[in-house]
């Protein structure tokens, strides 16, 4: 049903064709995504920008294997992601996807290190937890529980947790949404660091136009449609962002 290239090298990491996602039926149906076509190649840092309710999270959830499009097809590394079983999707998330949520979603009964280790336990070749936490600047707070960390610190633990499995793709839904500027910047720095060092394709969802300035590509959303895709020629490091 698609004309995706058969081999890894030439295929984009994700190829989306005609993706629609409709919630509900009839009169009250909400069309969250309408006919989205997109190619995402390996190692990119992409910012998805758009007003609230424009379908960004819906797209991210579909890419992460949490949700299924109502129609259309997605290929991941040339293999179809649509039409897979629940079990296969779980496996896909386990192997390839790192998630970062707006509210961190750390396990409160585990320390920073253990939250990272948790993911390591279901991964073949994980990063050392201490190393991952060092990378996000939390080398000193390994044995703190989430309740003992600030929001920004918790989000950086979440970043460390997401990268510990060396994911092919990092999906970040409003990662700075609950943070102030200063701590938000540190989280974005960590994300960029990871993207550069490990080459994980990174998608950052935001409704904040400023954040978009750090992306290599910026995809604008409006009313469930891709409005524009621009390559950012003047990338700005997170430290220079203000909002």
Ligand X SMILES: Nc1ncnc2c1ncn2[C@@H]1O[C@H](COP(=O)(O)OP(=O)(O)O)[C@@H](O)[C@H]1O
Binding site for Mg ion (CB under 5 A): 57
The radius of gyration computed from the CA coordinates of the chain, to the nearest angstrom, equals: 18
According to the binding rule CB under 6 A, does residue 220 interact with ligand X? no
Q: Does 173 bind other proteins (CB under 8 A)?
A: yes
**Measured distance CA(41)–CA(201) in Å, rounded:** 8
Is 55 a residue that touches ligand X (CB under 6 A)?
A: yes
Among 2, 102, 208, 232, which residue sits at the site for other proteins (rule: CB under 8 A)? 102
**Considering the rule CB under 8 A, would residue 14 count as an interface residue with other proteins?**
no
Task: Kindly tell me the sign of the dihedral angle through the C-alpha atoms of 149, 150, 151, 155.
Answer: negative
* Spatial separation of the C-alpha atoms in residues 71 and 79, rounded to whole Å: 17
Q: CA 78 to CA 178: how far, in whole Å?
A: 36
Exactly one of 4, 58, 133, 170 binds ligand X (CB under 6 A); that residue is 58
Q: How many of the chain's residues bind other proteins (CB under 8 A)? A: 35
Least spacing, CB of residue 240 vs other proteins, in Å: 29
Q: CB nearer to ligand X: give 56 or 75.
A: 56
* 71 contacts other proteins (rule: CB under 8 A): no
- For position 103 contacting ligand X by CB under 6 A, the verdict is no
In the complex, the smallest distance separating the C-beta of residue 30 from ligand X, rounded to whole angstroms, is 4
3-class secondary structure, 68 = coil
206 binds ligand X (CB under 6 A): no
DSSP H helical segments within the chain, as ranges? 56-63, 86-96, 112-120, 129-135, 151-163, 181-198
**Shortest approach of ligand X to residue 102 CB, angstroms?**
10
Q: Round to whole Å and give the CA distance between 173 and 100.
A: 6
Q: Is residue 107 near other proteins by the rule CB under 8 A?
A: yes
């Amino acid at each position: 049903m698609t004309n995706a290239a058969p081999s890894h090298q030439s295929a984009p990491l994700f190829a989306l064709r005609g993706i629609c996602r409709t919630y509900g039926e009839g009169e009250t149906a909400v069309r969250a995504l309408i006919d989205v076509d997109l190619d995402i190649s390996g190692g990119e840092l992409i910012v998805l920008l758009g007003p609230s309710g424009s379908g960004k999270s819906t797209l991210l959830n579909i890419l992460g294997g949490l949700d299924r499009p109502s129609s259309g097809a997605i290929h991941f590394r040339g293999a179809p992601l649509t039409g897979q079983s629940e079990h296969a999707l779980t496996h896909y998330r386990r192997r390839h996807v790192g998630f970062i949520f707006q509210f961190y979603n750390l396990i409160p009964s585990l320390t920073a290190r253990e939250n990272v280790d948790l993911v390591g336990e279901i991964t073949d070749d994980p990063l050392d937890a201490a190393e991952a936490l060092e990378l996000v600047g939390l080398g000193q707070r390994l044995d703190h529980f989430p309740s003992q960390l600030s929001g920004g610190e918790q989000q950086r633990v979440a970043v460390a947790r997401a990268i510990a499995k060396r994911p092919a793709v990092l999906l970040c839904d409003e990662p700075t949404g609950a943070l102030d500027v200063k701590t938000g910047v540190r989280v974005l720095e960590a994300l960029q660091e990871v993207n550069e060092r490990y080459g994980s394709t990174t998608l950052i969802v935001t409704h904040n136009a400023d954040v978009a300035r750090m992306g290599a590509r910026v995809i604008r959303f409006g009313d469930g449609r891709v409005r524009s895709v621009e390559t950012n020629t003047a990338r700005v490091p997170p430290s220079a962002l203000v909002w």
